[in-house]
A = this chain, B = another copy of it.
Amino acid sequence: MAKKAPSLMETIVSLCKRRGFIFQASEIYGGMGNTYDYGPLGVELMRRTKEAWWNSMVTERADVVGLDSAIIQHPKVWETSGHVAGFSDPMVDCKKCKGRFRADKLEDARCLERPSKQPGQCGGELTEPREFNLMFKTQVGAAEATSSTAYLRPETAQGIFLNFKNVMDSARLKPPFGIAQIGKSFRNEITPGNFVFRTREFEQAEMEFFVHPDEDVKWYEYWKAKRFAWYTEYGVNPDKLRMREHDQSELAHYAKATADVEYEYPFGWGELEGVANRTDFDLKRHSEATGENLLYFDPQTKEKYTPYVIEPAGGMNRTALTFMIDAYEEEQLEKDTRVVLHFHPEIAPITAAVFPLVKKDGMPEKAQEVAAQLRKARFTTFYDEKGAIGRRYRRQDEVGTPFCITIDGDSLSDDVVTVRHRDSMEQDKVKISELVTFLIEAKSNWKRPEKKE
């Protein structure tokens, strides 16, 4: 029987493990469900994804500042926000196998009596659905008399609302302005995760943009357009992206409107980012719960108001996964096939690979010198002297390295190297003294190639 070709997701998962992007967490202990560790290439991919978001949302803007709030906040925060009462999934227990499953996803249930790869429930009688809160709980403080239940944050947004006044006052801001944050959030997820698409801990990137209540619709439209464009700027195929407006029945209790940027994954359309009009719900709730004045007073108009909030909120792990899936190509060449990740050069985990053409005649030493020069200029640089040059190119194509730099006889005599471009496979001769400038230029001139699909 012919072996079934692996699906694109299986291929990506396997590439991630083999080349050191993503490993299952605690793999040597049998693994930890819905939890992953990022290897040498994965951590660089994540660093660049977060940096690209921060550059676009904070550094390049005059009207947004950053924040980094704690994961374990005062427990009352989550009562006020509605998470203690409402952040839950409906669960049923099976009286036969004693398993607990999401009532709305019974087709994904994995019976405890036959925990095979095949989902399905054993047919036992089910209890009525009960709500199961997705927040992780812990105990804070040492003395039993004074310790209290606290929660790992399920979203970073509340940390921003808590600091609204402190940030506005210390940074002397007035609406419209935003506060942005990237950090870990935690959800006790039960449903299968599609690799790193849905995990128990994940890096959220959220920005709360505070505006005059009369201007919420304008800014909602602004941020929807802005965030959609960000993905295409980093090379994501616009034909695989769509903006989907939620209908009334889908809206969260705090939202006046929400739209999702969705991507067409191998497992179907999925949410990449949400843009929500959260109104003045959160600031008002926290003000009521604490008695703190969370209003903005406009010294010009003498108007006092609670700002409305437009929130673009995405997941950085999901974004990095999307960059990877979208960049993947098995490209038919004249004589063979190559696997290539067409990452945007700002996103690629390794920026430059340096090869001596052969392992003799001083070429390795010269290549090490060039590699050291690139590292000093803070390019993530990989040195490789093993195997045929064509094979070394292919190994870098597979992890998306945009530039391969080869040192040959000419390099020793004329200080000239060959730069080979990942997407076009074209080559340029470049003087070593001009290499850093050449690469910076080439990075900024990058265009997404047409994939032959």
Contact = CB atoms under 8 A, between A and B. Distances in A.
B99 A38 contact: no
B72 A32 contact: yes
Number of copies: 2
Interface string A146-187: 100000100000010011011100110000000101001010
A18 interface: yes
A188 interface: yes
Interface residues of A, number: 91
A18 B375 contact: no
A124 to B, nearest CB: 13
Contacts of A54: 47
A42 interface: yes
Contact of A383 (B33, B38, B62): B62
Contacts of A76: 29
Main secondary structure of the interface of A (DSSP, over half): mixed
A195 B389 CA distance: 55
Contacts of A181: 43
A225 B203 CA distance: 34
Interface string A9-51: 0000000011110010111111111011111101110110000
Given A26-B74, A60-B378, A71-B201, A138 B141 contact: no
A376 interface: yes
Contacts of A163: 23, 27, 37, 39
Contacts of A138: 136-138, 152
A62 B378 CA distance: 12
A290 interface: yes
Given A26-B77, A40-B167, A62-B375, A140 B286 contact: no
